[in-house]
């Protein structure tokens, strides 16, 4: 029997890659699209005709129930959310309502009417805060330091509550930074690759950034999508950390991005104190040993390949617009 998957956040980076991945596995893919909180449909434009898109909102339980009742999906992937940390500080109530209560609404529908449905929740490494260590795994205590991370932590605990108390197949992936050509331009990696491409095409002559020595564990989003799917194919629901285990600096992103365009980043990058984080914390990597062992998962695209792919995409994108 052909499986049906319901994806919230289908037009985002992760949702669009997951939709493609599942279509290639012959799933019927249903996606939630919101007029109020949508980000446009550019990421799914090339395969939109193969999707079922339904209007709704994580803030509106009746709209979620209508979709789940109609399609009765075997798998639900909750990837929608407010993921840009500054937005969490600007709109804390909305951030919590979408990121935590949105999940609670879906869980309630599953618990009451579809207890056999499997659910994946996108959790974030931001939940770890600033632990007194350099590597985090599934056992590392959660100590969120901002509104976004707090909302994600509450949702993560909800998954545990519903799994343990109601015996539902629900699980979370604690994902470290993962980037791609479909990343929003407000995120620093895409800001750099897009900015470098603009400079190459003489559309601008400088790029303003914060601390170039700031580091993160950056992976390639399509690699992480496969792990999401694998988690719902297991016999038992478990949470997993997804990460590369490697740290790279913003300076390295600049070097790779500009070198790919035969440019020297030092001539174009301007340091702007406004982009420095108030509380940068320590640089944390993730230990994905459990995912590698249980899911047989392994990231395939390395850091340089990822940044180069993003630069090529942005260069072609901007050429088309010229």
Q: What is the CATH number of the domain that holds 274?
A: 3.90.25.10
Domain match, 136 and 262 both? no
Domain match, 111 and 192 both? no
Residue 57 has pLDDT above 90, yes or no: yes
> Can you tell me the mean pLDDT for 40-50?
93
What's the pLDDT tens digit per position in 79-99? 998 877 777 788 899 999 999
Domain match, 70 and 40 both? yes
Residue 155 has pLDDT above 90, yes or no: yes
Which residues constitute the domain of residue 314? 184-217+247-283+300-321
Q: Within 10 Å of residue 140's Cβ, how many Cβ atoms?
A: 19
> Residue 280's pLDDT is what?
58
**What is the per-residue DSSP string for 146-171?**
SHHHHHHHHHHHHHHHHHHHH---EE
292 found inside a domain: no
pLDDT band for position 114 (50/70/90)? very high
Buried b (16+ CB within 10 A) or exposed e, 20-55: bbbeeeebbbbbbbbeeeeeeeebbeeeeeebeebe
Domain match, 43 and 138 both? yes
Measured CA to CA, the distance from residue 164 to residue 183 in angstroms comes to 34
68 found inside a domain: yes
238 found inside a domain: yes
Domain match, 189 and 109 both? no
Between strands 28-33 and 240-242, the pairing is unpaired
CA-based R_g, the chain, Å: 19
Residue 12 belongs to domain with CATH number: 3.40.50.720
Q: 2 burial class (0-12, 13-18, 19+ CB within 10 angstroms)?
A: exposed
Domain match, 107 and 205 both? no
> Residue 250's pLDDT is what?
95
Between strands 215-216 and 248-249, the pairing is antiparallel
> Can you tell me the mean pLDDT for 271-295?
85
| CB 164, CB 150: distance < 8 Å | no
Domain match, 89 and 189 both? no
What's the pLDDT tens digit per position in 214-260? 999 999 999 999 999 999 999 999 999 999 999 999 999 999 999 99
Helix (H) or strand (E) holding 15: helix 13-23
Measured CA to CA, the distance from residue 74 to residue 55 in angstroms comes to 20
> Residue 279's pLDDT is what?
61
> Can you tell me the mean pLDDT for 97-123?
97
> Residue 132's pLDDT is what?
79
Write out the two tokens for 76.
């639900």
> Residue 133's pLDDT is what?
84
> Residue 37's pLDDT is what?
62
pLDDT band for position 130 (50/70/90)? confident
What's the pLDDT tens digit per position in 293-304? 999 999 999 999
* Count of domains for the chain: 2
> Residue 85's pLDDT is what?
72
Domain match, 98 and 210 both? no
Closest listed residue to residue 231, CA positions, set 176, 288, 174, 172 = 172
> Residue 230's pLDDT is what?
98
Domain match, 268 and 127 both? no
Domain match, 310 and 206 both? yes
Domain match, 21 and 169 both? yes
Residue 145 has pLDDT above 70, yes or no: yes
More confident residue, 279 or 221: 221
Domain match, 47 and 96 both? yes
Measured CA to CA, the distance from residue 34 to residue 276 in angstroms comes to 33
* Least confident segment among 41-45, 46-50, 239-243: 41-45
Closest listed residue to residue 162, CA positions, set 222, 218, 121, 203 = 121
Q: What is the mean pLDDT of the chain?
A: 94
134 found inside a domain: yes
pLDDT band for position 281 (50/70/90)? low
């Amino acid at each position: 029997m052909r499986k049906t998957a319901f994806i919230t956040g289908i037009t985002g980076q992760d949702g669009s890659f997951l939709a493609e991945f599942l279509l290639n596995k012959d799933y019927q893919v249903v996606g939630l699209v919101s007029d109020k909180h949508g980000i446009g449909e550019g990421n799914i434009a090339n395969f939109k005709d193969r999707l079922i898109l339904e209007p709704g909102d994580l803030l509106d339980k009746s709209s979620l129930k209508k979709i789940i009742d109609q399609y009765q999906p075997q798998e639900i992937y909750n990837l929608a959310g407010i993921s840009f940390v500054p937005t969490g500080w600007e709109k804390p109530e909305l951030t919590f309502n979408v990121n935590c209560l949105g999940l609670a609404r879906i869980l309630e529908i599953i618990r009451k009417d579809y207890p056999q449905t499997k659910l994946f929740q996108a959790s974030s490494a931001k939940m770890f805060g600033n632990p007194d260590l350099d590597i985090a795994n599934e056992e590392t205590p959660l100590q969120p330091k901002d509104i976004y991370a707090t909302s994600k932590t509450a949702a993560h605990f909800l998954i545990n509550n519903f799994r343990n108390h109601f015996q539902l197949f629900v699980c979370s992936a604690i994902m470290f930074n993962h980037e791609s050509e479909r990343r929003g331009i407000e995120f620093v990696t895409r800001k750099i690759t897009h900015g470098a491409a603009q400079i190459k095409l003489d559309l601008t002559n400088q790029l303003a950034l914060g601390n170039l020595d700031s580091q993160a564990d950056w992976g390639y989003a399509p690699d992480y999508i496969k792990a999401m799917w694998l988690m719902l194919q297991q016999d038992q629901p478990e949470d997993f950390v997804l990460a590369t285990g490697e740290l790279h600096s913003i300076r390295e992103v600049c070097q790779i991005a500009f070198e790919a365009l035969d440019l020297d980043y030092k001539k174009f990058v301007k340091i702007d104190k406004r982009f420095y984080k108030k509380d940068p914390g320590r640089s944390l990597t993730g230990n994905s040993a459990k995912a590698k062992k249980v899911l047989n998962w392994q990231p395939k695209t390395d850091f340089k390949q990822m940044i180069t792919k993003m630069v090529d995409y942005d260069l072609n994108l901007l050429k088309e617009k010229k």
